[in-house]
Amino acid sequence: MALRLYPAIDLKGGQVVRLRRGDMAQATVYSGRPGEQARTFAAQGFGWLHVVDLDGAFAGRPANAAAVESILAAVAGVPVQLGGGIRDMRTLDAWLARGVQRAVLGSAALKNPDFTRAACAKHPGRVAVGIDARQGMVATEGWSEASTMTAVDLARRFEDAGAAALIYTDIDRDGMLRGVNLEATLALARAVSLPVIASGGVASLDDLAALAAVASEGIEGVVIGRALYDGRIDAAEALALVAGR
């Protein structure tokens, strides 16, 4: 199966931004119209969107609902994967009912595993577990809190829970254009039976080619952020590469 590309739309204060290593003080604003950005990605041919409510990740509740809804309205036919601020079943149910195809549980996966397992069971195939790690150790609350759990140990907690995928982000590389952490991503994919989506550091078509070459080992997709916005990766070339054209 071809590597799936997930262009990222990160939301802060209703705007589309990119951070460096999750630092909210280092936000570069790319657009004030999230719906238009979503339409642009859809028109370029991307089959999914990866949306993150950054303010929600810190607040523990949705904080960019209007922006997310503008994205859902703009690309009704394109599945949206949403993370940030989803900490209870009521919030999860509401987003899935509004049109989000897949919800990402990050902080909740570490701090409330019972809820995460219940969410996976209630919505089979529509809940992914977000694993954000720094030097292999999981961080939560918008990456502001470090834990003593390894990424692999957290992933194994949900291997039999019915999660749709694991989204593995290397925090130190996120937004830095230093290249994807292929070694750590592949190690996680080999350690569990769930498909893994790589995130953080993608800088060039070479990163996509490297991931595509090992997709058969359990790497389902990759989130692309700053490299797309800064023009380092051309959308058409990226889509052609993973399609084998």
Distance CA 1, CA 107 (A): 30
Distance CA 220, CA 5 (A): 9
Query: CA 231 → CA 104, 205, 228, distances in Å?
Result: 27, 11, 5
Catalytic residue among 10, 55, 174, 207: 10
Pick the CATH number of 4-242 from 3.20.20.70, 2.40.50.140, 3.40.50.2300, 2.40.30.30: 3.20.20.70
What pLDDT, on a 0 to 100 scale, did the predictor assign at position 22? 78
What pLDDT, on a 0 to 100 scale, did the predictor assign at position 245? 66
What pLDDT, on a 0 to 100 scale, did the predictor assign at position 136? 81
Distance CA 184, CA 33 (A): 34
What does each of the 245 residues of the chain score in pLDDT, given as a tens digit? 789 999 999 999 999 999 887 788 889 999 999 999 999 999 999 999 999 999 999 999 999 999 999 999 999 999 999 999 999 999 999 999 999 999 999 989 999 999 999 999 999 999 999 998 888 888 876 566 677 789 999 999 999 999 999 999 988 877 667 889 999 999 999 999 999 999 999 999 999 999 999 999 999 999 999 999 999 999 999 999 999 86
Catalytic residue among 53, 55, 132, 207: 132
Active site residue 114: no
Q: Which amino acid is at 209?
A: A
Report the predicted TM-score, pTM, of the whole model to 2 decimal places.
0.95
What pLDDT, on a 0 to 100 scale, did the predictor assign at position 148? 79
Active site residue 153: no
What pLDDT, on a 0 to 100 scale, did the predictor assign at position 137? 85
- Alpha carbon 50 to its chain centroid, in Å, reads 5
Distance CA 123, CA 182 (A): 30
